[in-house]
Every structure is written in structure tokens, then in C-alpha cells.
Amino acid sequence: MPIKRVITQGKVPVKIYTDEVEPEAIKQLTNISRLPIVHSHVAAMPDVHLGIGATVGSVIPTKSAIIPAAVGVDIGCGMNAVRLSLRAEDLPDNLRRIRSSIEKAVPVGFDLHKEDPVKRSTITALNTGLRRIQQKHPALERMQEKKAYSTWVRQLGTLGGGNHFIEICLDESGSVWVMLHSGSRGIGSQIGRYFIGLAKKDMESQLGQLPDRDLAYFTEGAEHFEDYVEAVHWAQDYAMENRRQMMRLIVEALRGVLPSFEATAEAINCHHNYVARETHYGENVFVTRKGAIRAGAGELGIIPGSMGAKSFIVRGLGNEESFCSCSHGAGRRMSRTQAKKRFNAHDMERQTEGVECRKDSGVVDEIPAAYKDIDVVMENQSDLVEVVHTLKQIVCVKG
């Protein structure tokens, strides 16, 4: 489908791939388009909705500058999916044991591993980069809890909370997949919040000229620009490793409850909250994808639906108008607070029928009805990606 709507009130246009976008998100997108650092235009994916700092589902190309709040605090949040050699008929009728085995292997919410969960070489490599960042910014080191262990180490291979999840899915041919969604945990949040504050401080005299204080940015060559680039890439690497370690733990746990199987090559391990240097419309720019994945020609990606809907493994079509991007999911149509007011545990049980998952009031903010229709979202980005596999979850572990 073509672009549905174009906003022209800013310095550059905003091209939107959906008709379903709330007025608050339109205002956020317009504010972003008014910044002098934005290149060409802003793209808004079909799952676009109001976000903190910047609009979720936005793709923002900037010239010689980065907006830390647009990257956000869950730096490097993204997806991982692996296909197993198992088929639907290999699974037990009762899936509760599968969910329990995953929950025992992977801490969720604020929980973390009781011991260091990864090889010492992995910890050493990450620690070297982190120490270099902390030496230049001692305040980041002071934010770390003083314990006998490093929290960020114990959180490697953990899920976190909110809309993060682990799922067992079946594709259109009955093959079994493991899919998960998580990010850079507490350390990524600390890095994000610290540099967002630093950007506001650095631009203090200019904040009044910005359309939104949260859109404070670092310019290339400024005092803290390179430090932020180094820190954000460290957090993105940490998030990638977190997903990799979580997948390892899940596969090991499943070997204890399922028939013998092999894991095929990893389908994809991709970010959807991140910044990267890319070339678009003839210029080298920083592309911030806040709730969007890269969909370059031939590149594989993952677009999850809600707990009761389909998810998709996709191949990018390299559409330049979207900056070679697509949606990162279905996208919320109502806030968590609204969902809790409108729905209850009975609604949750009905809408997640056939899925082995929590169905209590504690997760009602993640009810499928709080999200946009994933089929409509996919239809709206048929110019951006093609579907490789359609997945339906049968087990879901929520953070």
C-alpha cells in the first residue's frame, strides 16, 4: 500500500504508512519534523503511536546529530527467533510444562540470575567497553548498585518486564519456532537516562527554541557526542548479547521437556530501538529507528503481533521512502492504563484462548485488544516487506 498521509507543517514532511494514528502522535511527529537536523523527511510506520520522548514507530534521519530521547532508554530493544527441527505433532497436549521450564530458566521482571550466567570472556569483553565509558562519565559508575556482583552481568539472559516476551510458535507448515523480545535491561536504561539529561543540559540555552524539550540533541563535534555514540553502541551490543544468551537458555530448557531436536541457524537477531550510520538520499546520516526495524532489500526481520495474534518473519524490500524500514510490531491502540480500566482477567482469558500463558489481571495491560490489528498493519506495509513465515504463538511468557 502507498503512503497514507503526509504532514507538511514542519521543516520536512512526515510520511505516514497508516490512517490509524492518534492526534498526540501527530503532534510528536510534527515536532520532530521541525528540528533543523532532520534530513529529507520523517517516516512513520503502520504501528505508529504516542511514545515517551519521540513517537514509537518513527524513523528519523538526522545530519551530524543524534537525539538521545528518540533512541530512548531501552537501547537496542529488539527480537530474536530460531526455528527448531520439531513439528507440532512432537509437542505434548499440555503445554504448561514447557512454559514452566522456560520460566525457571529465564528470570523475568526485576529478577536476575543468582550467578554469573555467561562465559567469563563475554563478561570481560563487555566490561572493557563499559569501564571505558564510565571512566569518562563517573556518574554512570555511581549509578551502579554497590553489590558483590555487577547487576548488568546477572541480567544477561533475562527478559525484563513490560511488553517483553518469550514465545513458542508454529509456522504455516507446523514447524516449531522460539521467538523472544527484550533489550538492554537496567544498564541500558541508566545509559539512556544519563545522556538524555546531558543533552538537555548541553542545550540548556537553546531548549526554549525546541518544539519539545525531549528533543534535545548532540551535534557531531560537540563535547559529548562521541561519548554518546560509544555508549549507545555498547548498550546495543549488550542487548544483542542478552537476547543471544536468553535464546541459549531457552533451548537448553526445552531439551529437558521435549523430544530430541536441533536448532537451525538463527533466523534474525535485530534491534528496533537504535541508531545507526547509513546513507539515504545521497547523504550520510544517523538513522534512529524508535520502534522500527531495518528492512533493506533481502534482509530478514521479525514483526510480532499481540499475545493472541499472528507474528511474521519478513524479508525487506529496501523501500527508500521508509529509509529501508518497517514496523516493529502491531503497535498499541490504547495505553496500559486505558487497557487496565477497560478489560479484566476474564477478557484476557477469552482473547488468549489456545495460548498457554498468564491470564490474570497482572498482565491485562498486554491484552490483544490493546493493540492494533496486525493484519491491517501488515497490509499497510506491503511496499516495505514480504512475508516469509507466518507464526502463531502457542506458549507465551511475559515479563
- What amino acid positions are annotated as catalytic residues? 328
| Nearest residue to 22 via CA among 382, 335, 325, 375 | 335
User: What are phi and psi for residue 377, nearest 5 degrees?
Assistant: -60, -45
CA distance 55 to 67: 12
Residue 283 identity: E
Residue 233 identity: H
Contact 50, 25 (CB under 8 A): yes
User: What are phi and psi for residue 231, nearest 5 degrees?
Assistant: -70, -40
**Reduced to 3 DSSP states, what percent helix, strand and coil does the chain have, rounded to the nearest 5?**
35, 25, 35
Contact 80, 179 (CB under 8 A): yes
Q: How far is CA 143 from the centre of its chain?
A: 24
What the block records as the C-alpha cell of 150 is 555487577
Contact 53, 195 (CB under 8 A): no
Sorted by sequence, the CB contacts under 8 Å of residue 13 that are 6+ apart come out as 6, 7, 33, 41, 42
Q: Cα dist. 72→60, 83, 145, 372 in Å?
A: 13, 30, 22, 22
Question: Radius of gyration of the chain from Cα atoms?
Answer: 21
